[in-house]
């Protein structure tokens, strides 16, 4: 997939494109509906493309530090979009210059340069300075350039519209199954195994400490049943199940938030390896135990619960 980080005028495309525009944080089932509509609109010889924004517009506009973390950091978003058939991804830098564009300037700067024949957006799409560009404005401006517009209605789960804010709320409460329903897949973190304090190994439950995940929204502290994919392994040994602890490790007086996973049935060295951890079920809250023996006994019970939840027992 082509990738372009856009500062100012986007690079000219030699291929006509159907362009989906949005934040696409999470690439959830609502976003997938937009991409489905764009894919249906694309003709032979046209490319499905996505225009998104970095950093997250909510952070850029409000400074809310929660939005420094995203459901899908750039590499994860690009991977998921490619799997959904997107051929080009444009990351517009959501800086002051971009925020100051009028709706007219946005349309006239971006759409012709990207050789856009058709635009697809969600029903809540706003663009241009102060969000002054409505769907109606987009239709009018695009029509002047001979560009079609499709507006995709919201996807609902229960009585609520599917959105990234809902998914963040579910994760903050540890409701990983509810988050999965809105994402269309389990919530996952991709990182590299780094060295820890090796206490897990001392009590018979070695853990992989996941590093390089600071950009992700973190699920609530607790213990989870997870699936682990070793991304640098192509054999049948690349997929495992495990028990993951996310939190501060109060039993050993931990002071920093860590994500540690014990792979069920695995033996070997994981240091430096890249892996993707998918949250499947929540087992329990994180707790402080009287000592390592009590912690070991609880981890044994957690592994038994995970095997039962995952149909491994």
* pLDDT tens-digit series, residues 82-95: 999 999 999 999 99
For residue 235, count other CB atoms closer than 10 A to its CB: 7
In degrees and rounded to multiples of 5, residue 33 shows phi and psi of: -65, -40
- CATH placement of domain 187-310: 2.40.30.30
- CATH placement of domain 4-161: 3.40.50.620
**Domain residue ranges of the chain, discontinuous segments joined by +:** 4-161, 187-310
Tokens of 10: 């986007």
pLDDT band at residue 259 using 50, 70 and 90 as cut-offs = very high
Question: How far is it, in rounded angstroms, from Cα 189 to Cα 228?
Answer: 10
The helix, strand and coil proportions of the chain, stated in percent and rounded to the nearest 5, come to 35, 30, 40
* 129: exposed, middle or buried (Cβ count in 10 Å: 0-12, 13-18, 19+): middle
DSSP state of 182: H
pLDDT of residue 162: 96
Contact 118, 139 (CB under 8 A): no
**What are residue 156's DSSP bridge partners?**
161
pTM to 2 decimal places: 0.92
Average pLDDT over residues 235-243: 85
pLDDT band at residue 251 using 50, 70 and 90 as cut-offs = low
Sign of CA dihedral 105, 61, 167, 254: positive
């Amino acid at each position: 997939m082509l990738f372009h980080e856009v500062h100012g005028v986007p690079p000219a495309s030699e291929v006509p494109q159907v362009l989906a525009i949005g934040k696409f944080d999470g690439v959830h089932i609502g976003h997938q509906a937009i991409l489905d509509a764009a894919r249906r609109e694309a003709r032979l010889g046209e490319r499905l493309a996505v225009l998104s924004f970095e950093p997250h517009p909510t952070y850029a506009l409000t400074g809310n530090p929660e939005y420094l973390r995203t459901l899908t950091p750039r590499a994860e978003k690009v991977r998921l979009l490619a799997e959904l058939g997107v051929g080009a991804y444009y990351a517009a830098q959501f800086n002051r210059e971009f925020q100051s564009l009028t709706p007219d300037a946005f349309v006239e700067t971006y759409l012709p340069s990207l050789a856009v024949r058709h635009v697809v957006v969600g029903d809540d799409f706003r663009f241009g300075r102060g969000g002054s560009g409505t769907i109606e404005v987009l239709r009018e401006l695009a029509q002047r350039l001979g560009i079609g517009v499709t507006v995709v209605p919201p996807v609902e789960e229960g009585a609520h519209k599917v959105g990234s804010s809902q998914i963040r709320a579910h994760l903050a409460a540890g409701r990983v199954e509810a988050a999965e329903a809105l994402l269309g897949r389990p919530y996952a973190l991709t990182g590299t195994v780094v060295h820890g304090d090796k206490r897990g190994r001392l009590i018979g439950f070695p853990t992989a400490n996941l590093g390089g995940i600071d950009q992700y929204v973190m699920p609530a502290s607790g213990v989870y049943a997870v699936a682990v994919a070793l991304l640098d392994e192509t054999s049948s040994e690349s997929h495992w199940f495990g028990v993951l602890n996310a939190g501060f490790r109060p039993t050993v007086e931990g002071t920093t938030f860590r994500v540690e996973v014990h792979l069920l049935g695995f033996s070997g060295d994981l240091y430096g390896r890249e892996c993707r951890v998918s949250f499947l079920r929540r087992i329990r809250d994180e707790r402080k135990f009287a000592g390592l023996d009590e912690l070991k006994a609880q981890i044994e019970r957690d592994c038994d619960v995970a095997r039962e939840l995952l149909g491994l027992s």
